[in-house]
Structure 1
Amino acid sequence: MTTVGLIRHGSTAWNKEGRVQGHTDNPLDAEGFQQAALIAERLSGEQWDYIYSSDLLRAQQTAEVIAKRLGIELAGIVPGIREMYAGLIEGTTQQERIERWGPDWKTLELGLETPEASEIRGSQAIEELAEKHPGCNILIVSHGVILRSILRKLIPELDGTVLLKNTSITRITKSGTSWHCDLYNCAEHLEI
């Protein structure tokens, strides 16, 4: 059985402002680094063999904090798990989108990556890592929207409607060709 811990990156200034980040390469803010340290401490009592990160800075910074605490090297950067591309809405808040494109902005073609494309891209990246490290425990630091897309593809019966919290962990396991989720969006380490 292969175990994958999917972790959303720590918080950024844009998270707090409600801005869509997409491919914009924002760093963690001070709270984001604190959150990364808290999830790292939580994971230090568990056995993890590898850690991978998206190629965006906020995920890499989170992964580096975790890797250092666990005493393992960052095994690689995986572009396939970068956040969904948000097209023209990157950098905007909900209010700004309404002001620019009206209340029905979600019905417009604004250059966003399609959910189907992100599901395929993200799930393929996870499957490749699981095949590369069968029977291992793998941490993957990525982003909220792409992680939910990955879960929709790998575990369609999972209710992934709840938005993932910063540095939450979702644990999935692969046995044979089937994926299962035994922990979703857990951020109890932030409740200290």
Structure 2
Amino acid sequence: MATEVYLVRHGETMFNQLNKVQGWCDSPLTVKGIDDLKRTARALSQVHFDNMYSSDLKRAIDTVHLMKNANTVSEIGKIKKLPEFREVFFGSFEGDDIDQTWAQIGQTAGVGHETNVQKIINQVGIGNFREATKKADPRHLAENSAELNERMVRAISNLHQLTKNEKRVLVVSHGDFIKTLAIKYWDQNDGIHDIQFPNNGSVTRGIIHDDGTFEIVDYNKDAEDL
């Protein structure tokens, strides 16, 4: 049985608002974040889900409960938390100022004092950006491309095992993780070039096929587009 997967990005958080690096570190949803999520939840309220899952970070857990509570056509039990669907890990940069962090990574990547992450990625490529992040991290704990790819593959494999008898599920995850999944699994992308960062509360749809292969079929749709 193929399983349709609705990947929802969590709502805006305090760290998003304060322009801080937020990977495995956590911060609460803002009022704006909750309001945006309510629109997404209303748009999905009549979509039947066999189950709902979430990253194990609190901002994702709070988001999935908003989706669950608004849905009137699904009977969802206890939410299972999936650590593999956490955000990308930024190591020692967690909680730091975003502009200062990108400037450090940009210098390591050889593009000078650049604070615009998209410009850095455009110049060096997403793979080299990940390598530069790990190299610039004083403790070298940040995930590089190989580590992140291994975790993505494990995430899809685990989800496939969990959803073998489920036709449609919702999974709350994170912006950079969803984007990286789409770079790898979206047929409109070549698997190399960067793509637009998904919006808070946006929905990306994928399909896990019977044999465990995964593909993204719809990316970064806001509530009004659902």
Structure 2 length normalisation: TM-score? 0.74
Matched AA of 2:172: V
Q: Could you say what secondary structure the match of 1:121 adopts?
A: helix
Residue number in structure 1 paired with 2:76: 72
Residue number in structure 2 paired with 1:172: 206
Q: Structure 2: 5+ residue runs without aligned partners?
A: 110-131
Residue number in structure 2 paired with 1:187: 222
Mapped partners of 2:58, 2:13: distance in 1: 11
Superposed CA RMSD in Å reads 2.4
Q: Could you say what secondary structure the match of 1:173 adopts?
A: strand
Q: Structure 1: 5+ residue runs without aligned partners?
A: none
The structure-2 alpha-carbon separation of the partners of 1:130 and 1:88, relative to structure 1 and needing over 3 Å to count, comes to same
Structure with greater strand percent: 1
1:138 corresponds, among 169, 183, 191, to: 169
> Structure 1 residue 102: deviation in Å?
7.7
The structure-2 alpha-carbon separation of the partners of 1:64 and 1:3, relative to structure 1 and needing over 3 Å to count, comes to same
Matched AA of 1:87: G
The count of aligned residue pairs is 189
The structure-2 alpha-carbon separation of the partners of 1:119 and 1:149, relative to structure 1 and needing over 3 Å to count, comes to farther
Matched AA of 1:49: D
Residue number in structure 2 paired with 1:114: 144
Larger Rg: 2
Q: Could you say what secondary structure the match of 1:104 adopts?
A: helix
Q: Could you say what secondary structure the match of 1:25 adopts?
A: coil
Question: After superposition, what is the alpha-carbon deviation per residue over 1:5-53, rounded to whole angstroms, capped at 9, x for unaligned?
Answer: 1111000122123221011121111111112211111111211111111
The answer to whether structure 1 residue 61 and structure 2 residue 79 are counterparts is no
The structure-2 alpha-carbon separation of the partners of 1:147 and 1:25, relative to structure 1 and needing over 3 Å to count, comes to same
Q: Is the 8 A contact 2:25 2:94 kept in 1?
A: yes
